[in-house]
Amino acid sequence: MKKSKLSLLLVLSLVLSMFLAACSGGKDTSKDTGKDKGTDKGAATEQLADSQELNVLESAEIPSLDSVMNQDVLGGTILGAINEGLYRLDPDQKVIPGVADGMPTYNDDKTVLTIKLKKEAKWSNGDPVTADDFVFAWQRAIDPKTASPYGPYFMMGKIKNATEITEGKAKLEDLGIKAIDPNTLEITLTGPIPYIESYLTFSLFYPQNKKFVTEKGADFAKDAANLVYNGPFKMTKWDGPTATEWTVEKNDTYWNAKDVTLTKINFNVSKDGQASANAFTAGETDITPKLSQAAILSQFEGTKDLLRYQEPSIWWLKMNEKIPALKNKNIRKAIALSVDKKALVDDVLANGSIAADFLVPKGFAFLDNKDFRDTAGTYLKTNKEEAKKLWEQGLKELGVKEVSLVYVGQDTEAAKTTDAFIKDQLEKNLPGLKLTIESVPFKIRIAREDKEDYGLLMGGWGPDYADPMTYMDLWVTGGGQNHMDYGNPEFDKLINSANKELALKPQDRWKALQDAEKILLEDDAAIAPLYQRSSNLLVNQKVKGFAHHAFGAEYSYQWIKILKK
């Protein structure tokens, strides 16, 4: 998912925080506080507080709680709390069964999955969760009449006949999902998908109670009264998509209710970072939304309240090869090498983000418990000398002395600061380069990218599923997200083989993807990776077991326990 640096009022908060932060002088940066990960049953000294009620701030409203229509991260998070699909992610990002009774069994070519459902899984209205509920929801998601924004996106080319149904060439019943009996589901894929189990954790694949949804019609998911739940919590207060407060309570009909300690979570919306931090300091909330401004974070730097972790979102400079100068490999490489990434993350962003000499983020994709990153190389490390040499060579090859480029960035204050820094770095290190920054709103940046109307473009990407491929297939020749006229047959071949003949050979597939990454970055310098963003939020120390995830539902609340202080 494309990430928008949504901090409209950054400058405001920044100025303000300068007043307020003057007294707090945090110096050392606390590294990933990964200890807060939920599986801390061992500690004998932990005593539960009398009240297991949690107060949480979110930075936006929930646009939709219809799992088929949702396309929002917050929507996915809340759906994960009040509903449950076949599988979910545990605090360590491992796939664990939800409604499914164990992991799927596969046929020989891994295209047909048979999944047993838990007999004790129930909806909050007393109905059992059946295989038909899954078939109903999936068919609803792909039905062109529903116009689900994510249904076709997630299913086409993956679930059998999804593409054909979208194009009107097959019937809804032909979709690759069948109820063998009320407790057995059979899913047919178009080809083997190595990451299918984690893919199924997405809220789009959740079941929907057919009887309930049909009965409610257009009113379904309008507010808390028009929803039915099969997850750890149920919504007891939510006035619909414009509501700025909502409440979930423990769902006693949940099959694993005995392991849910929290009785209630009160959510409120606060869109201003400094204000959220103020509410936290005043004790009015236990968990804040993500805070990204360095000026706010500096007030909490080094305290145990600050939870910081690297999220799998990578930010990069795209270089449009339709521009003759950027068609030149040496020019591109010079640009990629000449930004001081360390200074960018330490001094400009100053929020725990790390310099990225890679494309597939750290701590995101694992094979046999090994991080993809640990077994792959690093590329395009900042090297100003080398950059200058390549730059001069490139200019010679082009037969020009100067290159002028349009740099498209976002119009938030944070983005503008970053862009100004990069412009300064590039122009200083590459004599003869002239950049014109155009700061535009997020939607317009996307439109400019779509039309390839830029020279350099600051962009980013977050994962759609837990596999390196979600970052790699963006760059195939003519790919839907390429938008920079890049193409390399060798790269295409590796991606294609990873998708097809290597799909069942995880080790070889991994290798192919790592080779492809090397071609993309080291050989071609197609993009200039800059940094991997980090998440920062404040979590009250009495809250244990708060889990964050790399994709899909962003957080899980079901393992939280509130301890006595």
Partner 1 sequence: MAKYLLQRVLYMLITLFIVASVTFFLMKLIPGSPFNNFEKLTEVQRNILLDKYNLNDPVPVQYLHYMENMVKGDLGISFQFDNTPVTTLLSNRIGPSATLGFEAMLFGSIIGIFLGVIAALKQNTWVDYGSTFLAVVGKSVPSFIFAGLLQYYVAVKWGWLPVMFWRGPEYTILPTIALAMFPISIAARFMRTEMIEVLGSDYITLAKAKGASFWQISIKHALRNALIPVVTVLGPLAVSLMTGSLVIERIFSIPGLGEQFVKSISVNDYPVIMGTNILFAVLFVVIILVVDILYGIIDPRIRISGGKTK
Q: In the complex, which residues of this chain contact partner 1 (CB under 8 A)? A: 1-2, 8-9, 12-13, 15-16, 19-20, 61, 63-64, 66, 69-72, 144, 147, 149-150, 152-153, 156, 166-167, 218, 221-222, 239-242, 244-245, 268-272, 274-275, 278-279, 281-282, 284, 441-444, 446-450, 480-481
By beta-carbon proximity to partner 1, the closer residue of 19 and 28 is 19
* Residue 483 backbone dihedrals phi, psi, to 5 degrees: 50, 25
What is the SS3 assignment for 531?
A: strand
By beta-carbon proximity to partner 1, the closer residue of 270 and 320 is 270
By beta-carbon proximity to partner 1, the closer residue of 74 and 456 is 74
CB 403, min distance to partner 1, A: 26
By beta-carbon proximity to partner 1, the closer residue of 398 and 444 is 444
Q: Are 531 and 355 in contact (CB under 8 A)?
A: yes
By beta-carbon proximity to partner 1, the closer residue of 230 and 285 is 285
CB 166, min distance to partner 1, A: 5
Measured CA to CA, the distance from residue 405 to residue 324 in angstroms comes to 11
By beta-carbon proximity to partner 1, the closer residue of 172 and 446 is 446
210 membership: H or E segment, kind and range? helix 210-216
Question: 497 Cβ partners below 8 Å, 6+ apart?
Answer: 512
Burial class of residue 213 (count of CB atoms within 10 Å of its CB; 0-12, 13-18, 19+): buried
Measured CA to CA, the distance from residue 116 to residue 378 in angstroms comes to 43
By beta-carbon proximity to partner 1, the closer residue of 100 and 287 is 287
Q: Which two tokens stand for residue 521?
A: 């970055």
Q: Which two tokens stand for residue 237?
A: 């207060």
Calculate the CA dihedral of residues 303, 414, 58, 18 and round it to 10 degrees: 50
By beta-carbon proximity to partner 1, the closer residue of 269 and 350 is 269
Length of the chain: 565
Measured CA to CA, the distance from residue 331 to residue 177 in angstroms comes to 50
CB 7, min distance to partner 1, A: 11
CB 450, min distance to partner 1, A: 6
CB 476, min distance to partner 1, A: 15
Q: Are 227 and 82 in contact (CB under 8 A)?
A: yes
CB 153, min distance to partner 1, A: 6
CB 68, min distance to partner 1, A: 11
CB 9, min distance to partner 1, A: 6
SS (H, E, C) 485-508: CCCCHHHHHHHHHHHCCCCCCHHH
